[in-house]
Amino acid sequence: MIGHLSPDVVFLDVNMPVLDGFDFLESVDSSKFKIVFVTAHEEHAIKAIKAKAVDYLLKPIDIKELQQTVKRLADHFKNNDNVITSVQNDKVILPASYGFTAINAEEIIRLEAEDCYTHIFTVNEKKITVSKTLKEIEEKVSDRLFFRVHKSHLINLRHIKDYSKLDGGCITMSDGVKIQVSRRKGSEFTEKYKEFIMKQ
Amino acid sequence: MTSVIKGLIVDDELSGRENLKILIESYCTEIKLLVQHHLQLKQSV
């Protein structure tokens, strides 16, 4: 469940009846998110620090402490975002809560927007979610390989399997997912794809 | 920069989750809480 949601931070209660907070951390890959323990018991503090918690909130929660914790987290992620999101030699370097991840641009099949986030789907069926808008990522990746066919979709031209002009235009990607082409992008897309094929 | 942190609350008690959720949504604009349909701690997480 945690893997599917890919949070940046987990606010974790310590005292739970079946799995306590520490057992919970052993059952998931906790390297991919930050942990803030939330508990009524101060004696868990040292264990929480050893479990690499970034902070520790005591119940009842003090609003100012909560805001300070969130501000520290926001600063941390903002700094990571600003420093390392880049494209170098066709490597796309993306921020993650645990550091960064580098993937070959060729391995990206498509990118999908969801509010302030972008989901990146790769050839090994991996889904990476980053706290960047699709527009921000579009500005960074190579326009040789990628094209925005819809306000919510940026696709890798190399991974196009099929294109149908019916129903306003629909692309089937190499992972079988069908992507709708927006009406105003239809002719621009076909031109771009012709150009891409000519350069291969 | 429009980055927002994605947060998840893990608490076996609904009241605990709801209380923290209300505080975060009321006072912390930097975080967007992810939907947690249910958490069965007896099962795999």
pLDDT of residue A81: 56
Query: CB distance A78–B10 less than 8 Å?
Result: no
Q: Say how many C-beta atoms besides its own lie within 10 A of residue A129's C-beta.
A: 19
Which tokens go with A33?
């998110």
- Higher pLDDT: B31 or A93? It is B31
pLDDT, one tens digit per residue, over A115-169 is: 777 889 999 888 888 777 888 888 877 777 899 999 999 999 999 999 998 877 8
Distance from CA of A44 to the nearest CA of B (A): 16
Which residue from A minimizes the CA distance to B10?
A12
Span A99-127, pLDDT tens digits: 667 788 889 999 999 877 788 999 988 88
Chain B contact probe: residue of A5, A8, A39, A54 with most B CBs at under 10 A: A8
Sign of CA dihedral A20, B16, B12, A130: negative
Q: Tell me, what's the ipTM?
A: 0.82
- Under DSSP, is residue A116 helix (H, G, I), strand (E, B) or coil? coil
